[in-house]
């Protein structure tokens, strides 16, 4: 019992059964008992009224008998002149006496002397020898109040005089009951009252008024007949004693039926609850028994089907997460293919599972990935025609294939199955791959299998797209978008690998830093589009002028680097440099016009001129500047002295910046004279640098460096403003000078703001 009702649901269901059985029975019993009680009380009240009437009739009859006897006594007493002493009359009369006659006295009266019980008397006039007299006879209470068969069993009766004096009572009544009867309307000679004694006993009483004035000339008496209500309801209590066991039996039966139904209901529910709990821990292999042919059986079958679907969905989500993790970490298509094939075998039943991915190196070719390497298909390349690819792309929900040589399976001879299903993996408008299920028997995947395959195919498409995007980003990060040559970053990496290889193999390599001479003129005269075309043609000529094992990279602007990965001596590098200069010096066809440029090349050798890629490239750059100083179309080898020259240029640039900040520059003015008259007409401003250590530095030692690093523009602006201020000062001093000339750098002329600078200085 305890085990069966262990669950709160079970206890509630059993309680519900019991309540459902108890409420109707209790309601029926209550209604029936109330109806029976009301009927019994009504019947008992009618019986009490009748008993009161019968008792009143019997009293009248006894009084009539007593009156007849009194008449006889009076007649006999008249003859004898005294009251007869007949003991036989004691049954009727208790005492007697002779009274004087009273015409107004009633025949029947009640004597209620203080200190003695009330008694009933009868009087009769008679003629005595001495004169008229009355005989008064006291009625014997046992005779007068005897109930005999006039009252039912357990019925009490009380008789009261008109003034309320108690004449007779088998069981005294409370004063409140008598008062209630007195308060009844005078027109009612009979009434009913239910009252409760102090001990809690309920009593039914019937009242009857006995009219005596007509026969006996006396005031009416009140008769009250009472009976316990329990006696009246004894029949109902008997019914209750019979019904209660039936009710208890009904409740037990209801409880038993409830327990049986609970067991039949809760056992399947407990199985469902346990299975649901196991599903919560991702254990989908547990099945709920399906043997029942009722709603619970249908629920179990639905639950098992749901569990199967959830298992597939969770496995699919797990597969997606695993693939996504690979995509986010590093897009390894082989690893993605292995995961997809393994998950396909877990999620979608088939005899064989294949994945075909487009081969980026060969057009219209697809590499086969197989879950079973033993079939010899893994790694095979299958060619698909444009028509086959289009037919597959036109079936996004998958396509049924037959291994008859007329489908995509024509290249899969090791499949050894006659039936297959292919789901395309699209990348835009192109066929990126295929998911293939192969079957020995003639069957196809259902709709849920197709949804699983599509989700896997989408993940593969994402992996392919991510791989292509990574490749593109890698290309953008490492290749020049214009010339498609390695950029500076990749060029340094390739140079570093070449240096490491040369070190391992104990051989020499050469690095050439190539800079185009006159490229800026092409940009300025023909536009940047023409300059871009020239750079593309330059890259093609450089690539064509060296070996495939050599490295060509664009460092930026019109600068290129060529790495000769294996040279015997410097003369080999010089020969290649000469050929490159000749190749780049040829005419460039730039649309409707043509252009000519030359190249300056700096050459370094490994390991003589540097041990790292950065050092080699920096030294080659220095050598290139030496070649430019020698004239266009030249090459120069790196020398150690170039480093010292570079250091001098760097130090000079820093000193020039400080000189501009500290106002160390000054202008000297060379007079301009009119030769005929010798008159001073103007002057030429010549800049000088008064170095705090070196003293006065002439322009030839710093102007070239200022031109190269761009400092010539702020220096030239300072010179222009200072010369204009000096000219104004001389004029204010009365010196008749007409003009002052200031030297301007070509770099200043190319600055679009130069006109504004001059205008501001003049203002």
At what angle are helices 519-526 and 528-544 packed, to 10 degrees?
140
How does DSSP classify residue 220? Answer: P
CA distances in angstroms from 183 to 99, 188, 361, listed in the order given:
38, 10, 124
Question: Are the C-beta atoms of residues 419 and 438 closer than 8 Å to each other?
Answer: yes
Question: Are the C-beta atoms of residues 157 and 223 closer than 8 Å to each other?
Answer: yes
What 3-state DSSP class applies to 159? strand
Of these residues, 558, 609, 615, 753, which one is catalytic? Answer: 558
Cα 580 from Cα 601, distance rounded (Å): 9
User: How many angstroms from the chain centroid is the CA of residue 241?
Assistant: 62
| Coarse DSSP helix, strand, coil percentages of the chain, rounded to the nearest 5 percent | 50, 25, 25
CA distances in angstroms from 391 to 366, 369, 394, 563, listed in the order given:
16, 22, 5, 49
The dihedral over CA atoms of 567, 573, 576, 580, expressed in degrees to the nearest 10, equals: 130
| The two three-digit tokens of residue 529, written as one number | 């589009």
Cα 340 from Cα 165, distance rounded (Å): 116
Helix extents (H) in 479-600: 488-505, 519-526, 528-544, 570-584
Cα 689 from Cα 666, distance rounded (Å): 6
Cα 50 from Cα 53, distance rounded (Å): 5
Q: Which helix (H) or strand (E) holds 162?
A: none
Q: Which contacts qualify for 575-581: CB closer than 8 Å, 24 or more apart? A: 576/510, 576/512, 576/545, 576/546, 577/512, 577/601, 577/603, 577/635, 578/635, 579/545, 580/512, 580/514, 580/541, 580/542, 580/545, 581/633, 581/634, 581/635
| The two three-digit tokens of residue 544, written as one number | 């064509």
* 135 φ, ψ (degrees, to nearest 5): -100, 125
Rg (CA), the chain: 69
- Nearest C-alpha neighbor of 348 from the set 426, 455, 441: 455
| The two three-digit tokens of residue 419, written as one number | 């039936």
User: How many angstroms from the chain centroid is the CA of residue 125?
Assistant: 116
Cα 579 from Cα 173, distance rounded (Å): 152
Question: Are the C-beta atoms of residues 206 and 45 closer than 8 Å to each other?
Answer: yes
| The two three-digit tokens of residue 167, written as one number | 């004449």
What count of other Cβ atoms lies within 10 Å of the Cβ of residue 341? 20
Strand intervals (E) in 331-447 = 352-358, 365-370, 381-383, 399-402, 419-427, 430-439
CA distances in angstroms from 471 to 157, 330, 337, 467, 468, listed in the order given:
122, 12, 18, 6, 5
Cα 352 from Cα 403, distance rounded (Å): 13
Cα 292 from Cα 262, distance rounded (Å): 16
Told to judge if 558 belongs to the known catalytic residues of this protein, a careful annotator would answer yes
User: Which residue's structure tokens are 């019991």?
Assistant: 18
What 3-state DSSP class applies to 5? coil
| The two three-digit tokens of residue 728, written as one number | 């104004």
* Residues comprising the chain, all counted: 763
Strand intervals (E) in 675-713 = 679-691, 695-697
| The two three-digit tokens of residue 78, written as one number | 């008249």
Q: Which residues are catalytic?
A: 558
């Amino acid at each position: 019992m305890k085990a069966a009702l262990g669950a709160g649901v079970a206890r509630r269901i059993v309680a519900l059964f019991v309540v459902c059985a108890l409420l109707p029975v209790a309601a029926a019993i209550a209604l029936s008992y109330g109806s029976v009680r009301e009927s019994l009380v009504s019947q008992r009240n009618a019986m009490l009224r009748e008993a009161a009437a019968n008792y009143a009739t019997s009293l009248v009859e006894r009084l009539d008998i007593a009156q007849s006897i009194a008449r006889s006594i009076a007649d006999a007493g008249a003859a004898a002149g005294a009251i007869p002493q007949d003991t036989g009359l004691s049954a009727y009369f208790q005492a007697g006496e002779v009274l004087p006659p009273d015409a107004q006295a009633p025949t029947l009266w009640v004597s209620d002397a203080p200190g003695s019980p009330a008694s009933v008397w009868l009087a009769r006039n008679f003629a005595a020898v001495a004169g008229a007299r009355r005989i008064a006879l006291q009625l014997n209470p046992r005779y007068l109040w005897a109930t005999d068969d006039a009252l039912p069993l357990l019925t009490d009766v009380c008789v009261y005089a008109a003034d309320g004096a108690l004449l007779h009572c088998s069981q005294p009544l409370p004063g409140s009951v008598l008062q209630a009867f007195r308060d009844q309307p005078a027109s009612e000679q009979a009434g009913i009252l239910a009252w409760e004694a102090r001990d809690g006993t309920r009593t039914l009483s019937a009242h009857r008024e006995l009219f005596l004035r007509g026969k006996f000339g006396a005031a009416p008496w009140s008769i009250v007949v009472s009976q316990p209500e329990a006696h009246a309801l004894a029949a109902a209590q008997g019914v209750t004693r019979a019904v209660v066991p039936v009710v208890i039996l009904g409740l037990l039966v209801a409880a038993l039926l409830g327990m049986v139904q609970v067991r039949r209901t809760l056992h399947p529910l407990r199985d469902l609850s346990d299975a649901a709990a196991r599903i919560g821990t991702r254990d989908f292999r547990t099945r709920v028994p399906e043997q029942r042919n009722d709603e619970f059986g249908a629920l179990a079958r639905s639950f098992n089907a749901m569990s199967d679907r959830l298992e597939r969905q969770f496995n699919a989500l797990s597969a997606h997460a695993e693939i996504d993790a690979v995509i986010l970490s590093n897009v390894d298509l082989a690893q993605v293919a292995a995961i997809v094939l393994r998950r396909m075998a877990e999620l979608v039943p088939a005899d064989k599972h294949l994945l075909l991915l487009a081969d980026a190196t060969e057009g219209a070719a697809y590499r086969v990935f197989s879950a079973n390497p033993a079939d010899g298909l893994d790694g095979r390349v299958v060619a698909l025609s444009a028509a086959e690819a289009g037919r597959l792309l036109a079936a996004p929900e998958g396509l049924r294939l037959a291994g008859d040589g007329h489908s995509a399976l024509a290249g899969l001879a090791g499949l050894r199955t006659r039936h297959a299903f292919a789901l395309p993996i699209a990348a835009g408008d192109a066929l990126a791959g295929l998911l293939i299920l192969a079957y020995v028997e003639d069957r196809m995947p259902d709709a849920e299998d197709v949804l699983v395959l599509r989700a896997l195919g989408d993940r593969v498409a994402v992996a392919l797209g991510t791989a292509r995007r990574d490749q593109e980003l890698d290309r953008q990060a490492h290749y020049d978008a214009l010339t498609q040559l390695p950029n500076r970053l990749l060029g340094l990496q390739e140079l570093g690998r070449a240096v490491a290889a040369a070190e391992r193999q104990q051989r020499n390599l050469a690095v050439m830093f190539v800079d185009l001479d006159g490229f800026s003129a092409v940009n300025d005269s023909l536009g940047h589009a023409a300059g871009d075309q020239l750079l593309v043609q330059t890259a093609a000529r450089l690539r064509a002028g060296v070996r495939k094992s050599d490295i060509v990279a664009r460092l930026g602007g019109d600068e290129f680097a060529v790495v000769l990965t294996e040279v015997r001596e410097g003369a080999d590098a010089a020969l290649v440099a000469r050929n490159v200069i000749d190749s780049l010096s040829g005419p460039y066809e730039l649309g409707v016009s043509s252009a000519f440029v030359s190249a300056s090349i700096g050459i370094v050798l490994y390991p003589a001129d540097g041990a790292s890629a950065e050092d080699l490239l920096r030294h080659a750059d220095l050598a290139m500047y030496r070649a430019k100083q020698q004239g266009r179309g030249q090459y120069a080898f790196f020398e150690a002295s170039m480093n010292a020259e570079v250091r001098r240029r760097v130090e000079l640039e820093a000193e020039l910046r400080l000189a501009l900040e500290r106002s160390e520059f000054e202008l000297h003015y060379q007079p301009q004279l009119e030769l005929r008259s010798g008159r001073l007409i103007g002057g030429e401003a010549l800049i000088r640098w008064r170095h705090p250590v070196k003293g006065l530095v002439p322009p030839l030692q710093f102007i070239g460096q200022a031109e190269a690093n761009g400092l010539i523009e702020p220096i030239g602006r300072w010179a222009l403003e200072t010369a204009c201020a000096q000219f104004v000062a001389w004029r204010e001093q009365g010196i008749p000078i007409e003009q002052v000339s200031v030297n301007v750098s070509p770099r200043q002329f190319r600055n679009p703001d130069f006109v504004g600078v001059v205008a501001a200085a003049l203002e």
